[in-house]
Chain A
């Protein structure tokens, strides 16, 4: 017997009473989404800015290996998209578009469509996510309602810069992934 059959058969052999699957309410609160989203991201050590603040930051940030896939900011790209993500090793800044954001925790949803390479938001030294103010939901329940059954090979919530507290619980930003996250709300 294969292990598959073996495992499934041993489970089938166990007497279990039926337990219902509950519906999940959406626990809506009607809070100020932009305000809550900003508070959450700031708490996650990300920075929230508007378009003009971003424009002035980009001029002074001193980065020259930039890739942007965001319409409106494509002009900022200084590198062309390589075929192999390993070649992004020295990328200083990636500017990507977020699909929508979640106010309760600052998480921003991206799928393959927003990711020229799945590795890009991780391998880049710094990350900027551009997101429309209109595309905020309150909590994770609404987030999954919004994602729905849409099929993407890969999707993720990013909620802040890469961080760790593995040394004595001291928070350090910039473990393996992006050392900073800026979120541009437009």
Chain B
């Protein structure tokens, strides 16, 4: 389904769509308020952006540094060129440890690699332990938001789901009650798992350590009870120094949820005696994105989700409308790099309003990259873009006046479009909007008469 179709579908349930918009706006509003308590907020954004730009400019060096120091710390480092290799590496570690069931905390990377279905196909039970992720896992859905995975669901739906899966009381929709039920259910999983998988928020080159941030404590519950910790990390997650964490941890939670810091910010440097830590460094299209100069800095993303919360499109169309692992504005500039054909409508699912760029804690010029992707997509998937111009032409300019114009205005404006398009029968403009009233004369005519 294309984005416009999916969005129209989402908007059919007006009450839920409004709730979705207002709930995410509330999160953005919290982010606005807390960011304005930090006088140096814009400074921090600049610093974060510069640190990431620098890291990307020397990514090969920092990757080697990270590896060298991680090895020194007793961490085992693996490299994966693509999703398939990543999944194979993870499975290999599980098989070596004779592990049949794992717990996993939030990792967008493993979603991107479709790790869960791969492991399940190979007989491994995968339990997502973030509450929101467990909920969507029960439903066989991907997360609809990278920070708030179950934001598309109402508590009534979750209550019904938990009644079925966890035998909670029918009709009990109390979030505290439901969360408690999940706590009991997941604790059992935590206590049994021999291997725990986490994502990585930041990898620090100078120390070879990595940082994982959660509010629930699920990542730590998993890894500290397991014998083996596998951390899956995109190669763009690196930062050079420990001190850089000061900048990023000040920005991350405030941007994500409007809280001053995540509750648990764990720095993993060496395994506990007798245990193992593995880091899997994953490319999967990142070096290709790095090579695209105009889109390179999309790799600065720290996955805070603020661009989703602020995006007037995302709020009113939901995460699933994007059909990509990372939805929303940042997803729309990352996904075409992975599969341009599949994601060709995403850069057009925007008004280029620029709110995403202003909210971004690492100052990715998201809306400008959306514009640039449009230029790229029309080169290879021209039909789409052309039909967009067509529709505009037929929508707005298809007024009686347009045919009356004697000057060269409309001809010039539309000279790149075939004439037949101007007579295109679809008039999407007029479905929910009236056209402006046609004035007696254009300004040009008025000017000629009044200012000869």
Q: Does A128 contact B (CB under 8 A)?
A: no
| In the bound complex, CA of A166 to CA of B217 (Å) | 14
A47 at the interface (CB under 8 A from B): no
CB distance from B115 to the nearest CB of A (A): 17
A7 to B57, CA, bound (A): 15
A122→B221 contact, CB < 8 A: yes
- A-B contacts, 12 of them at CB < 8 A, read A4-B79, A18-B57, A20-B50, A104-B260, A143-B246, A156-B265, A163-B216, A166-B148, A166-B149, A167-B175, A176-B183, A177-B217
Selected from B73, B225, B243, B271, the residue in CB contact (under 8 A) with A144 is: B243
Q: Does B264 contact A (CB under 8 A)?
A: yes
By beta carbon, the residue of chain A nearest B282 is A7
Q: Please tell me if B132 contacts chain A, counting CB pairs below 8 Å.
A: yes
Task: Tell me the B213-253 residues at the A interface (CB within 8 Å).
Answer: 215-218, 220-221, 224-225, 235, 240, 242-247, 249-250
B135 close to A (CB within 8 Å): yes
Q: Which residues of A contact B190 (CB under 8 A)?
A: 176
Asked whether A156 lies within 8 Å of B154 as measured between CB atoms, the reply is no
Structural contact, B158 and A167, CB atoms closer than 8 A: yes
Q: Which residue of A lies closest to B218 (CB)?
A: A176
A151 to B268 CA separation, bound complex (whole angstroms)? 11
- Kindly list chain A residues whose C-beta atoms are within 8 Å of the C-beta of B281: 7
Contacts A7-B79, A178-B217; A105 near B154 (Cβ below 8 A):
no
Q: Is the CB of A165 within 8 A of B50?
A: no
Q: Is the CB of A7 within 8 A of B216?
A: no
Which residues of the partner chain A approach B135 to less than 8 Å between Cβ atoms? 166-167
Contact of A153 among B150, B158, B271 (CB under 8 A): B271
> Interface code A92-111, partner B: CB below 8 Å = 1, 0 otherwise?
00000000001011110000
Looking at the complex, which one of B80, B183, B259, B261 makes contact with A157 (CB distance below 8 Å)? B261
Per CB-CB distance, the 3 closest pairs between chain A and chain B, nearest first, are A177-B217, A166-B132, A153-B270
A106, chain B: closest CB distance, angstroms:
7
Decide if B394 is an interface residue (CB 8 Å cutoff). Answer: no
9-residue interface stretch from A21-29, A62-70, A71-79: A21-29
A105-B261, A176-B221 are contacts. A154–B268 as well, Cβ < 8 Å? yes
Determine which of B57, B154, B249 lies in contact with A140 in the assembled complex, contact meaning CB atoms within 8 Å. Answer: B249
Interface of A is mostly: loop
- Shortest distance from the beta carbon of B106 to any chain A beta carbon, whole Å: 11
A-side contacts of B221, CB under 8 Å:
119, 122-123, 176-177
Q: How many chain B residues touch A (Cβ–Cβ < 8 Å)? A: 86
* B positions within 8 Å CB-CB of A: 23, 26-27, 39-40, 43, 47, 50-51, 53-54, 56-60, 63-64, 73, 79-81, 85, 129-132, 135, 148-151, 154-155, 158, 175-176, 178-180, 182-183, 186-187, 190-191, 207, 215-218, 220-221, 224-225, 235, 240, 242-247, 249-250, 257, 259-272, 281, 283, 287, 290-291, 296
Supplied contacts A86-B191, A159-B264, 11 more A-B pairs, CB within 8 Å: A2-B79, A10-B283, A14-B290, A16-B296, A22-B47, A149-B207, A153-B270, A156-B264, A162-B216, A163-B215, A169-B26
Nearest chain A residue, comparing its CB with the CB of B209: A155
Q: Which residue in chain A gives the minimum CB-CB distance to B81?
A: A3
- Contact call B242/A147, Cβ cutoff below 8 A: yes
The CA-CA distance from A139 to B40 in the complex, in Å, is: 12
- Would B269 and A20 count as touching, CB distance under 8 A? no
Q: If A14-B290, A16-B56, A168-B155 touch, does A21 touch B263 (CB 8 Å cutoff)?
A: no
Nearest B-chain residue to A151, judged by Cβ = B269
Shortest Cβ distance from residue A100 to the other chain B in the assembled complex, whole angstroms: 14
Q: Smallest distance from the beta carbon of A54 to chain B beta carbons, Å?
A: 21
CA of A178 to CA of B264, assembled, Å: 11
Contact with B along A1-12 (1 / 0, CB 8 A): 011101110111
Measured CA separation A118–B267 after assembly (Å)? 11
Taken together as a complex, chains A and B put the C-alpha atoms of A25 and B244 apart, in Å, by 11
Contacts of A24 in B (CB 8 A): 47, 243-244, 246-247
Q: A14-B291, A163-B263 are in contact. Are A141 and B246 (CB under 8 A)?
A: yes
Q: Which of A29, A44, A102, A166 has the most CB of B within 10 A?
A: A166
Q: Are A141 and B243 in contact (CB under 8 A)?
A: yes
Q: CB < 8 Å: which of A6, A153, A174 contacts B180?
A: A174
